Structure 1
Amino acid sequence: MGRGALDRVRGVRGHVPAQQGRRAWRVGGGGRMACPGHLAPVRGGGSLPGRAHDRHRAAARRLDPRRRRSARPVRDHHGTAGARRGARARPTARDRARDRAGRGVRAGGAGSREMTPLLTFTMATPTPAPPAPGAGLFTSPFLLSLLIWVPAIVAVALAFIPNHRGRYDVLIKQIAFFTNLGTLFIFFIAYSQFENFLPTMQYEEKVSWLPAIGVTYHLGIDGPGLVMLLLSGIAGVASVLASLGVRERVRAYFALLLLAQASVNGAIASRDMFVLLLFWGASIVPIALLVIGWGGPRRISAAWRLVGYWGLGTGALAVGALALYAAAGGTSFDMDTLFKATISPRVQLGVSVAMIIAAATRLPLFPLHGWARDVLAESPPGVVVVVATAASRLGAFLLLRTIIGAEPAAAHLLSPLLAALAALTVGYAGLAALRTIDIRHAGAYLAMVPGGLTVLGLAAVSPLGIAGSVLGLFTGGLAAALIAGACVTLSDRAQTRSMALLGGLAPRMPNVAWLFTIAALALLGVPILASFASEVMTFFGAFKTQPIGAFAVAAGLAVCAVALAVMLGRVLFGAPNPDAPGVSDASLGESWYLGLLAGALLWVGLFPGGPKIPGTEVPLFDPGLINQMSAGISDISSPYVLPTPAPAAQ
């Protein structure tokens, strides 16, 4: 075919003529060969149809840089440029000139524009920086922020979902459930990659926020923080499962529930006192609104009690934080700066008293416990789970951070006071539960017991007692939520709160009966359950340094055991009351949320160090909560290690 015929074909098919006098091979976007009109351009501006066309398309594919192949032009039977597999491209005079001038790369030049697509395949990437403590394969530099702001953003999004006449109630519940499940999954990423041999803070985030007063958005966790976030994650999933029966104002309910979890996570991860104060106070609002909107007959009174007591604690925390800020020079609210500053003993004592007041209103501790009975008795099950777990354990966590871990002199001075508060709380809870006939009130009183045991471990100011209290943050929160939630669920299914009308419910409510029994055993710390390990460490640590307080707490725990035995015998195994209303067993959601709390206690109780490959010490998929929480505990308890006595002279 002559040149005129080829030109006519090119004109009919709309082919763009190749550039004259040079090779037209050029790498286009994404590394593909630019081949105008789908025919291979050749030297001199010609195009080849038929077999030559197929050959040149194959050559174009072979020249794809992603295929790691090269070619050089050769002559086929038409005398035009083809490609030979495995050959090296023959440089032109222009290419050689560019190589001599600096490999053909000049800023702003034509050669630079032509070679830029090729450079994207050959340019070396910088070596990544060494990972920070806590970093791993699936980690994010904003992992803790995800745990805080994902629930908050979803809560705001739920507020704008139109839900006329409850049309999307099921969808809203699913969104809330998978949001909390997703945050728990994010936490497990952090948990699995946590460096348990490092005493420093991990997954730290630090951004200047209000530099004029020294406020930074500073987040970070150590072993105790990891324990608290695990408790909050499990409680978040359990609270949604417990709330599947909500029928009124579903959108507002789950939005507030997610906001409560976000604020609690923020308080746990905060490393700046100002940010901690904001999250601490922010948690009051959604929980109070949940009690008012979906609580029992005395919900208004319960909500006002919650606001009053928790508001008092927030004020005490603010006073302590400002005093610490002023004593440290008034330049920064960062905990790393405040806790390293030289502060007079008088200021340390005043700050510690303020922190004890703030903690006592949250746990709660006697005599600042006035909100606990009404809030835990009048709230729906989902709110009970949130309040009894991480929201209330924040009190003991605050003591651990600001007194035990930062002010050893004040901790030694105030340890008898902490032991006395622990003994009064446990003894009062046992006597009150033994005296009441309202099963919800009994559950609320008994939910105070784990907080007293945790404070006893802190009062021991010994490494063993502190380790027991840190594990007690997790086990005590689960046990408190399990006993209070079981009482609320049982009263809902039995349609009465009076234990005088209840009896013989075990055959008719087998699921609730089993879970209620596990809750009672977890509260007392029997073997196989995780609370056993925490209580053993707490008492062994306290008997050495606070023997009177330890014996008093043990006596109060014995009273609680009597109260639990009386309640179980009367409600589950006593004679049925003919005047009692009809009963039904727990629903699927209620069984799942109670089962999740009980299952977590069983898992940590059976495998505190994590399951191991048989015959080895290699962990399978769980490194063990005891191992993970050890990061930071040694650093916190180092001022309280007793000196080793010198060996006797021979």
Structure 2
Amino acid sequence: MFDLQIPWLTAIILFPLVTAFAIPLIPDKEGKTVRWYALGVSLLNFTLTIYAFSNQYNFDTVDFQLSETYAWVPQIGLNWSVGIDGLSMPLIVLSGLITNLALLGSWNIDRKPRLFYFLMLVLYSAQIGVFAAQDLLLFFIMWELELVPVYLLISIWGGQKRLYAATKFILYTALASIFILVSALALAFYGDTVTFDMAQLGRKEFPLALEILAYAGFFVAFAVKMPIFPLHTWLPDAHSEAPAGVSMILAGVLLKMGGYGLIRCNIEMLPHAHIKFAPLLVILGVINIVYGAFTAFAQTNLKRRLASSSISHMGFVLIGIASFSELGMNGAVLQMLSHGLIAAALFFLCGTTYERTHTLMMDEMGGLGKQMPKTFALFTAASMASLALPGMSGFVAELTVFLGIAESDAYSTAFKTGVIFLTAVGLILTPIYLLSMLRVVFYGQNNSELTLPKFQLDAKPREIFITSCLLIPIIVIGLYPKLAMTTYDIKTVEVATKVRSVLSVFAQQKQVNNELASTVLVAPEID
């Protein structure tokens, strides 16, 4: 038996990072050994994650588990403090699954393979570190660490405009990250005690003005990451130039960090400010859904169309987070997990199509369905999941968000009706732009110059395996959503209950103030 005192979470975070530094020592000219090494490290780490979570994690408590705290830089109050709960655990599993598949999907990287796989392993560690950090300063460090590999992966292995896309990505995300640091420092140094511990910060009493300022700071950083209109313009450029494996992680995991941060920092630590900002979040969520859907129509680049689709789908996360209902919060987390799987599948298939056609312009393709029937079938299945076909995870997630905002008593009936109507417009547009994408790429006359034999064009066993590993959980969650919801249901209920209680106190106080004001207005004059 394994020693139960093993620091599981620290080992899971640091293992990919530490082992990545052995890559330069591997004698390998063509990169074949390096890619097997990187995949082996990633698979082993994912196996350790599943083992630790299945044997050490208790689904019946909202407390942080596998918690570990070590003094790191005590002079500035920085601790290596990590732990997981129902919110972070499923996202760490998602990170592991998609990273492994992205490494397998990057099997044909032949330019600077050592650096490529080194950066992918560092990125894997940073992803887990963001979701596991319980020290706000450590959270910021992991958030920044994740930016560097993505920038290099796009700028070195991207398309023709890779430097522009990578520079735009780093400028947006790095500048926005400063707001995390400023907000963290403001919260940590307020009061008699200085602490970056997220749990302690959640119990601190802050003035409403400070909460609002800190909330706004966090929101800017997380809004860029999700991304939220109008801070979204870096995403289509990054996706259109990034290699397929990087796009899988970018869409499948990194965008979810924004939603995770909103729940972990904005709602749990700043519930009073969340009440003020929640209507704005709902409005921005609706704008994301409708704007992203309309923008997708204008895109003739396959990856840019899928990137616009991601912007649209992340709007549901915003609406669920701001719904003040347990059901809406459940739907927001489920949407993050669902979209992570669906987007990773679509961007991987987009990459396989590009390898055959050497173009991302849809009007230069056409008629690929006859030459690539397996790819066509997989692309169609992933697109059906993205347009929320019943029986797939996207349908359950978006329906749950719909029901969550509809049952919320925090908003007026007129407001909810407008939100539901406009969101429904976005839902109607989604199948139109996705089905038109399939029609242009796979139907009609072949416009591409494909001279390879048919058996070399279509999806190979490795590519079918990668896509199947994403489609299977999409279908399983769609048919039995409780399987996914069980992992985080208790946590989302706790978060929703907390903000609802604060909202109730706020409403009662507002009613008392109104009654006092009316009493003063009608009080008789005294001589």
Q: TM-score, normalised by structure 2?
A: 0.89
- SS class of match (1:208): strand
Q: Does 1:183 align with 2:45?
A: yes
Cα gap change, 1:475 to 1:579, in 2 (>3 Å): closer
Q: Does 1:145 align with 2:10?
A: yes
Name the structure 2 match of 1:635: 494
Cα gap change, 1:364 to 1:520, in 2 (>3 Å): same
Name the structure 2 match of 1:295: 158
Name the structure 1 match of 2:476: 603
Separation in 2, partners of 1:578, 1:286: 36
Deviating more after overlay: 405-414 vs 215-224: 405-414
Separation in 2, partners of 1:248, 1:589: 20
Separation in 2, partners of 1:152, 1:383: 17
Q: Does 1:567 align with 2:437?
A: yes
The alignment-based identity, stated in percent, is 27
Amino acid at match of 2:492: I
Cα gap change, 1:139 to 1:585, in 2 (>3 Å): farther
Amino acid at match of 2:440: R
Shift of 1:475: 0.8
Give the alignment of 1:203-602 within 5 angstroms. Answer: 203-329=66-192, 331-545=194-408, 547=416, 548-572=418-442, 574-578=443-447, 580-582=449-451, 584-602=457-475
Cα gap change, 1:557 to 1:145, in 2 (>3 Å): same
Normalized per residue, which structure has more helix? Answer: 2
Deviations 1:468-526 (A, max 9, x none): 11122211211222223322322322222221122222221122212211221221222
- SS class of match (1:320): helix
CA contact (8 A) 1:463 1:641 kept: no
Deviations 1:149-194 (A, max 9, x none): 111011111133243x32xx22111111121111211121233232
Larger Rg: 1
Separation in 2, partners of 1:579, 1:626: 44
Name the structure 2 match of 1:160: 25
- SS class of match (2:362): coil
Separation in 2, partners of 1:233, 1:446: 24
Deviating more after overlay: 578-587 vs 261-270: 578-587
Cα gap change, 1:482 to 1:329, in 2 (>3 Å): farther
Deviations 1:265-324 (A, max 9, x none): 101100000000000001010111011111110100010011011112211111111111
Unaligned runs of 5+ in 2: 505-527
Shift of 1:606: 2.9
Amino acid at match of 1:634: V
Separation in 1, partners of 2:471, 2:170: 30
CA contact (8 A) 2:356 2:450 kept: no
- SS class of match (2:203): coil
Deviations 1:590-643 (A, max 9, x none): 33222222122122223333xxxxxxxxxxxxxx32212224222212124588
Name the structure 2 match of 1:51: none
CA contact (8 A) 1:439 1:491 kept: no
Deviating more after overlay: 488-497 vs 245-254: 488-497
Aligned CA-pair RMSD: 1.9
- SS class of match (2:269): coil
Cα gap change, 1:500 to 1:419, in 2 (>3 Å): same
Cα gap change, 1:562 to 1:162, in 2 (>3 Å): same
Unaligned runs of 5+ in 1: 1-135, 610-623, 644-650
Deviations 1:13-57 (A, max 9, x none): xxxxxxxxxxxxxxxxxxxxxxxxxxxxxxxxxxxxxxxxxxxxx
CA contact (8 A) 1:390 1:477 kept: yes
Amino acid at match of 2:41: T
Q: TM-score, normalised by structure 1?
A: 0.72
Cα gap change, 1:348 to 1:476, in 2 (>3 Å): same
Separation in 2, partners of 1:550, 1:359: 24
CA contact (8 A) 2:368 2:446 kept: no
Separation in 2, partners of 1:586, 1:138: 44
Name the structure 1 match of 2:508: none
- SS class of match (1:405): helix
CA contact (8 A) 2:154 2:166 kept: yes
Shift of 1:140: 5.0
Higher RCO, 1 or 2 (CA under 8 Å, sep at least 6)?
2
Cα gap change, 1:328 to 1:144, in 2 (>3 Å): farther
Deviations 1:187-212 (A, max 9, x none): 21233232111110011001122223
